[in-house]
Amino acid sequence: MGTSGERSSRLTGRLRAIALTLLVVQVAALGIAVPAVEGRQRIRSAGMEIWRYAAYPRVGPTDRGTNVLILQHLLRAGSPKLDLSSTYDRSTRLAIAQAQKKAGMRVTGRADGRLWDRLAVPLRRGESGHAVRALQVALGEKLGWGVKVTGTFDKRTFSALRRLQRDVGLRWTGRVDDRTWRVLAWHYERPAFGRSSLCDYSTVNGPEANWATSSVIAWLERAAAIFHRRTGLSVAVGDLSRRFGGRIPGHGTHGRGMEADLRPIRADGRQCSVGGNDWRERGYDRRNTRLLVRALRTAARNRVLFIAFNDPGLRSGKGRARFAPGHNDHLHITWCIPGHRSSLYRCAR
Ligand SMILES: [Zn+2]
């Protein structure tokens, strides 16, 4: 980015800081409690009470990724031979059902908050076992804080825990309690840009907007892998959500870790290195963009709510996208969760 861009972003930063100060003063004066998820400035800084709205993710059909892996480690306490596939497969469903039965819960084979609560046992330094591994996957793999999965609550795990509790506004206890577990399971993650066929392109929001729910990240990576196998090309990822969600500049949505913007595919295949690409311009590759849309749908069966992109050549079949104002130079994907409270993210029946 050029100097003028840097200057303007610095200026924007200063304006934001002023706006935040005004907001804080105003809120303090009125004594109004602003929910953490609403104001992006409140979310930006560490110490916000993220744990207040963090909820355990449901895990069921089509889910995959780090949260499923965390859950599988926890399930191993009762099903020691469970495969660590990071995918909600048949054996995971059976292990969940078994855990539910044992706990006297309704047997659904899908994990909900009650089951997570049951499995996520409190932990302290020096302990070892399956739950410690689950913790280490969350801190190491999901948050990327260099914690190795050793199975022992060691010094590295301990310092990462300290950092997490500070970031999400939890009192530092040195222990993993139910609030900490809830935050860990709820927490968004970032794509493995280096290890996958995904590359990052930045908008005004920069790398701050590279977070999404762990299933969305896994679906994106899988779609990119499918697409790469067919075409040898990479997929350029723009904004997802912010680390803790909430409003984000330039978007009416993207607040819940359930959305992504991607660049269309270019005929020269350089969507990662060359800037934007508009379907109305020469150099746009309809055939491969359709393949990308298909891969996105294949990777997340029944969990893609819609894909917005304005090329009228992509209106039908598995490679279909729908019209939405402004979506000429990027594809917007919204994934869904069955029974989600908000109709914005609820899967259509
Ligand atoms: Zn979007």
Sheet (strand 259-262) strand order: 198-200, 235-237, 259-262, 331-335, 304-308
- In the three-class reduction of DSSP (H, G, I as helix; E, B as strand; rest coil), residue 14 is classed as helix
The H-or-E segment that residue 176 falls in is strand 175-176
Q: How far is CA 287 from CA 25, 249, 314, in A?
A: 54, 32, 9
Distance CA 237, CA 307 (A): 14
Shortest CA distance to 244 belongs to which of 70, 64, 39?
A: 39
Q: Kindly list the domain boundaries of the chain, sorted by start residue.
A: 66-186, 198-335
334 CA to centre of ligand 1 in angstroms: 8
Question: Looking at residue 320, what DSSP letter applies?
Answer: -
Whole-number Å distance, alpha carbon 154 to ligand 1 midpoint, is: 40
- Taking a C-beta distance cutoff of 8 angstroms, is the pair 265, 292 a contact? yes
Separation of 250 CA from ligand 1 center, angstroms?
A: 9
- Distance of CA 290 from the midpoint of ligand 1 (Å): 18
User: Which top CATH class is 198-335?
Assistant: alpha beta
194, burial (CB in 10 Å: exposed 0-12, middle 13-18, buried 19+): exposed
Q: Determine the Cα–Cα distance for residues 14 and 11; give it in Å rounded to an integer.
A: 5
- Using the mean position of ligand 1's atoms as its centre, give its distance from the Cα of residue 7 in Å: 26
Q: What local confidence, expressed as pLDDT, does residue 349 receive?
A: 74
| C-alpha to C-alpha distance for 59 and 226, rounded to whole angstroms | 23
Residues with CB under 5 A from ligand 1 (ion): 261, 332
- Confidence (pLDDT) at 202: 86
Cα(43) to centroid(ligand 1), Å: 20
The rounded Å distance from CA 155 to ligand 1 centre is 40
Question: What is the block-wise mean pLDDT of the chain (349 residues), using blocks of 10 residues?
Answer: 39 49 39 35 56 93 98 97 98 98 98 97 97 98 96 97 93 94 97 92 89 98 98 96 92 95 96 89 96 98 97 94 96 95 90
> Quick count: other Cβ atoms within 10 Å of Cβ 223?
26
Alpha carbon distances (Å) from 103 to 61, 96, 117, 297, 334: 22, 11, 11, 36, 35
| CA angle (69 as vertex; 64, 74 as ends), nearest 5 | 135
Residue 277, pLDDT score: 87
pLDDT, residue 16, reads 53
Q: What is the largest CA-CA distance in the chain?
A: 62
Give the distance (Å) from ligand 1 centre to CA of residue 284. 19
